[in-house]
Structure 1
């Protein structure tokens, strides 16, 4: 998906599209994880829809649960959802940061030629 070290730096417009794709993927994962949480809290913990959304949002964002649980099934679900949410949070952060971090690291591996233009190391060797 990303260019290699010996390849030239991606044009800015293509980089912006790459960031947009990463953001879209991150939002899709958020929507999926939030949907699972809302359904689980509603059907397993017997919360109202709004309370289910609130609890799922708070757990997914790392803030912690809001409501009291009526049954043990809800408590078990909340436990597994909290573990899942922690993993989802790290995954989402990685997806969002990856294109920017890759571009920065790729930029550091590009060398300048005599005219002051930046080019990849392989392109410089071919000259």
Structure 2
């Protein structure tokens, strides 16, 4: 997928396309996680509206924690597992987005004169 050190740097346009592709995949992961969190919150907690569930999921993804604490046992377990899952997804999405940038920097340093 990436060029080796024997190959020249790709153009800025190709690099921008690569970065956009990586960012798009990262955004898809985060949006999927938001939907999963909202649906799980509505499933495990009774009488929760979609907008409250979406707010709680977005706050969890943002690292702030839920606005309304779950009341049921199943909701508490879901939020515990979802919190761990979301932290891994955000770390993976950040790594996915920053990988082309780091590769380009390292590739620039290792180019033959």
Same fold judged by TM-score > 0.5?
A: yes
Any stretches of 5+ residues in structure 2 without a counterpart? none
Task: Work out the CA distance in 2 between the residues paired with 1:20 and 1:93.
Answer: 13
Task: Work out the CA distance in 2 between the residues paired with 1:21 and 1:87.
Answer: 20
Which structure: greater helix fraction? 2
Contact kept in structure 2, 1:44 and 1:74, CA below 8 Å:
yes
Question: How far 1:39 moved relative to its partner?
Answer: 0.2
Question: How far 1:69 moved relative to its partner?
Answer: 1.5
Residue 3 of structure 2 corresponds to residue 3 of structure 1: yes
Secondary structure at 2:6's aligned position in 1? coil
TM-score (norm. length: structure 2) = 0.94
Residue 55 of structure 2 corresponds to residue 54 of structure 1: yes
Question: How far 1:48 moved relative to its partner?
Answer: 1.5
Residue 67 of structure 2 corresponds to residue 66 of structure 1: yes
Task: From the CA coordinates, give the structure whose radius of gyration is larger.
Answer: 1
List structure 1 segments (4+ residues) > 3 angstroms apart after TM superposition: none
Task: Work out the CA distance in 1 between the residues paired with 2:54 and 2:71.
Answer: 17
Matched ranges for 1:1-127 at <5 A: 1-46=1-46, 47-112=48-113
Question: How far 1:62 moved relative to its partner?
Answer: 1.3
Question: How far 1:61 moved relative to its partner?
Answer: 1.7
Aligned residues: 112
Secondary structure at 1:111's aligned position in 2? coil
Task: Work out the CA distance in 2 between the residues paired with 1:100 and 1:10.
Answer: 12
Task: Work out the CA distance in 1 between the residues paired with 2:92 and 2:62.
Answer: 13
Task: Work out the CA distance in 1 between the residues paired with 2:45 and 2:85.
Answer: 17
Contact kept in structure 2, 1:45 and 1:75, CA below 8 Å:
no
Secondary structure at 1:3's aligned position in 2? coil
TM-score (norm. length: structure 1) = 0.84
